[in-house]
Chain A
Amino acid sequence: MKYLYFIWKNLMRKKLRTTLTVLSIVVAFILFGALGSIKAAFTEGADIAGADRLVTIHKVSLIQSLPYSYVNRVRSLEGVSKVTWASWFGAYYQEPRNQFAQMAVDAESYFDVYADMLSLPEEQMQAWQNNRIGAVIGTSLAERFGWKVGDRIPLFSMFDREGGDRVWEFEIEGIFSADTGADSGSMLFHYEYFDEAKQWDKGTVGWLMIEVDDPDNAAHVAENVDALFVNSPAETKTSTEKAFMESFMSQFGDIGTITSLILGAVFFTMLLVAANTMSQAVRERIPEMAILKTLGFSNQSVLLMILAESVLMALLGGLLGLLLVWFLINGAAAEVAAFLPGFGMPSSVWVNGLVAIVILGVLAGLLPALQGMRLNIVAALGRR
């Protein structure tokens, strides 16, 4: 710590150069934080997926619906403990930009299958089950629109009601909470209401969620489910929930690879900028380093002081960048909740960011630090 003042003073010797380099690092780490958070938001669903749950969709695509009769047929299969189902509703509130996820579900079995992730007070569950047009919403959705229990909300759906009207009314009967990473920005309502009131495609469901007795047996059960409907008009494709989520996310492209490539390019560019700054800073101070060694500072001390200066510069820019992006993401989280539920800056981005900062600092300062360490005092003093 006693060297910190000296290191700081050296870093601030050329204020403009240091400021510009730090600002470059700030921008780089804003990108790092933003892309890392987007990547996490896209992959988090897969990470929290239950190992004992399967998802069955139409073999052609998720958009194609399945006959409702499949529910009971799957239920009767060996190894299946619970089955529930859902249908996509595709509606918005008041105007198209107010998008969020709504699903028509079977209230009791849905919360039973997702008991590890979703929780709803018992009295609210009762109230919901007793109200045909009742719905429950996640905590972040309630916060987003300021909705509360008892509110009556109209949604404009892609599905026509009988009679051609596309406005569907719901009464909020409960607010459910979701574990970290699970979607608390969605709305669930009764499948019966949806199926009876919609004009077309009656008697179908979007997909099935199956809980198996033994997670080790999940692959076998999945095969049995698909075998059950082979050569039928609606063949199925069953996979683990994790595989399903990953497949769903891959529709947006390989987010992981794209973000990694961008971050790699940003990091490499940043490394060159920071290394150039450190290299110039050290080259200007060669006689001063020779004096330090003359006074008794060891080669290792000189090496560590230059590395510390480089890491300090990276820390200044990196932490500022991560803090700024954290504020930005917190501000934007509600706005993008419809598309990226659970969007935020997870701790993994902070940890990776700190590691990247240290690596950037060390790599940028390494060559100049070695140059300083190997400096020959007599030759360097002769250059003065």
Chain B
Amino acid sequence: MSDAHQAEQMPQNQTASSDEVLVELKDINKVYRKGKEEVPVLSDLNLTIKRGDFLALMGPSGSGKTTLLNLLGGLDSPSSGSLTIAGERIDKMSSGQLTRWRARHVGFIFQFYNLMPVLTAARNVELPLLLTKLSAKRRKQNVMAALELVGLKDRAKHTPSELSGGQEQRVAIARAIVSDPDLLLCDEPTGDLDRATADEILALLQTLNREQGKTIVMVTHDPRAADHAKQTLHLDKGALITGA
């Protein structure tokens, strides 16, 4: 058993997680090629994440945090190993299958929000719903519900340039949850925010985890941000380490 798998068995101080396994990584390796040179990024990684968990991933730059997040989100595929999420082997999926799978199962939250600057908050949140067969009326209802959940219903018609950084990130969170995904993946969600706003965003993520039962994996450099998670895993040189 690797260090990574032991990490899953580390003492947990929160109990909101169910026993159902949502994510299971077995012997995951990821190697990038730079010309003829092979650069290993993740090595023999084993990890289990239960439904309802809130996991923080920490580690120095280049440790493989974002690569792991990309694998969990189906944005990239492992070089070897198996990756099962919600009972589906996503490492076996084609690019097209992964695209459809992402739309159904994963919500992404980025450091720089990545909203469409030409669209209002509501239209940004609506984007993932355009991929569904919901009617315009139903899409609007869902969008307003998501915006209300993040406290921005009154900013629905504002464009990103008319919002503060914290508000933009709230809109991004609303966009991530509007299609009710199994898994929320956050890549430095507070990295571009001041402390107070960052705390608000982290509190919101905690609420989504506790009250909505969302499973969250968050990459962060900030130990205070990691404190909001139920458990923290450390990555170094592509491997999960215990006792960090």
Is B114 a contact partner of A287 (Cβ separation < 8 A)?
Answer: yes
The smallest beta-carbon distance between B172 and chain A, in angstroms, is 10
User: Taking the complex as formed, is A340 at the interface, i.e. its CB lies under 8 A from any CB of chain B?
Assistant: no
Which residues of B have CB within 8 Å of A296?
99-100, 102-104, 128, 131
Q: Which residues of A in the span 230-265 have a Cβ within 8 Å of any Cβ on B?
A: none
Contact A377 B103 (CB under 8 A): no
Q: Mark out the residues of chain A between 181 and 196 whose CB falls within 8 Å of any chain B CB in the assembled complex.
A: none
A108 within 8 Å of B (CB atoms): no
Find out whether the CB atom of A9 lies under 8 angstroms from the CB atom of B118: yes
Task: Say if the beta carbon of A220 comes within 8 Å of chain B.
Answer: no
In the complex, which residues of chain B have a beta carbon less than 8 angstroms from the beta carbon of A298?
96, 99-100
B79 interface contact, C-beta 8 A: no
Residues of B within 8 A of A224 (CB): none
Measured between alpha carbons, how far is A381 from B70 in the docked complex, in Å? 11
User: Can you identify 12 A-B contacts, CB atoms within 8 angstroms?
Assistant: A6-B123, A6-B127, A10-B118, A13-B117, A291-B116, A294-B73, A294-B108, A296-B103, A297-B103, A297-B131, A298-B99, A299-B95
Among the listed A3, A13, A288, A381, which residue makes an inter-chain contact with B130, where contact means beta carbons less than 8 Å apart?
Answer: A3
Interface of B is mostly: helix
Are A9 and B103 touching (Cβ within 8 A)? Answer: no
Inter-chain CA distance A287–B112, complex, in Å, is 11
Contact status of A378 and B70, CB under 8 A, knowing A2-B130, A296-B103: yes
Which residues in B have their C-beta under 8 angstroms from that of A12? 118
Is B76 among interface residues, defined by CB-CB distance under 8 A? yes
0/1 per residue, B95-121, Cβ < 8 Å to A? Answer: 110011011100010101010111100
Question: What per-residue 1/0 map shows which CB atoms of A294-314 lie under 8 Å from chain B?
Answer: 111111000000000000000
Per-residue A-contact encoding for B56-100, CB less than 8 Å = 1, 0 else: 000000000000001001011000000000000000000110011
Measured CB to CB, the closest approach of chain A to B30, in angstroms, equals 11
A187–B99 Cα gap in the complex (Å)?
72
Residues of A within 8 A of B118 (CB): 6, 9-10, 12-13
Task: Report the minimal beta-carbon distance from A297 to chain B, rounded to whole angstroms.
Answer: 7
A293 touching B99 in the complex, CB below 8 Å, given contacts A9-B119, A378-B75, A378-B76: yes
Structural contact, A295 and B116, CB atoms closer than 8 A: no
In the bound assembly, the distance between CA atoms of A13 and B117 in angstroms comes to 9
Chain A positions 353 through 384: 1 when the CB is less than 8 Å from some CB of chain B, otherwise 0: 00000000000000000000000011001001
Q: Digit string of A6-19 for contact with B (CB within 8 Å is 1, else 0)?
A: 10011011000000
Q: When each residue 37-53 of chain A gets 1 if its CB lies under 8 Å from chain B and 0 otherwise, what string results?
A: 00000000000000000
Nearest CB of chain A from residue B142's CB, rounded to whole Å: 14
A5 within 8 Å of B by Cβ? yes
Q: Does A292 contact B (CB under 8 A)?
A: yes
B102 vs chain A, min Cβ distance (A): 5
Q: Which residue of B lies closest to A1 (CB)?
A: B136
| SS of A interface (majority) | helix
Task: Rank and list the top 3 A-B pairs by shortest CB-CB distance, nearest first.
Answer: A296-B103, A9-B118, A291-B114
* Shortest distance from the beta carbon of A137 to any chain B beta carbon, whole Å: 59
Which residues from chain A contact B127 at a C-beta distance below 8 Å? Answer: 6, 292, 295
Residues of A within 8 A of B175 (CB): 295
Are A299's CB and B114's CB within 8 A? Answer: no
Bound form: Cα–Cα A291–B171 in Å: 14
B102 touches A295 (CB 8 A): yes
Give per-residue flags for B121-152: 1 if the beta carbon is below 8 A from chain A beta carbons, else 0.
00100011011000010000000000000000
CB distance from A296 to the nearest CB of B (A): 2
A295-B103 in contact (CB<8A): yes
Shortest Cβ gap from B34 to chain A (Å): 13
Which of A3, A5, A294, A378 counts the most chain B CB atoms within 10 A?
A294
User: What residues of A have a CB within 8 angstroms of the CB of B123 in the complex?
Assistant: 5-6, 9
- Smallest CB separation, B112 vs chain A (Å): 6
| A contact residues around B76 at 8 Å (CB) | 377-378
- Kindly identify, within residues 276 to 299 of chain A, every residue whose CB is under 8 Å from any CB belonging to chain B: 287-288, 291-299
Docked pose: A9 CA to B99 CA in angstroms: 24
Task: Tell me the complex Cα distance, A291–B117, Å.
Answer: 12
Q: Which of A2, A288, A299, A384 has the most CB of B within 10 A?
A: A2
Given A6-B119, A378-B76, also A294-B130 (CB < 8 A): no
Nearest neighbor of B103 in chain A, beta-carbon distance: A296
Contact A295 B119 (CB under 8 A): no
User: When the two chains form their complex, are residues B119 and A299 in contact, meaning their CB atoms are under 8 A apart?
Assistant: no
Q: What residue of chain A has the Cβ atom nearest to residue B134's Cβ?
A: A2
Mark out the residues of chain A between 10 and 31 whose CB falls within 8 Å of any chain B CB in the assembled complex.
10, 12-13
A288:B116 contact, CB within 8 angstroms: yes
Residues on the B chain within 8 Å of A292, using CB:
127
B239 CB to nearest chain A CB (Å): 21
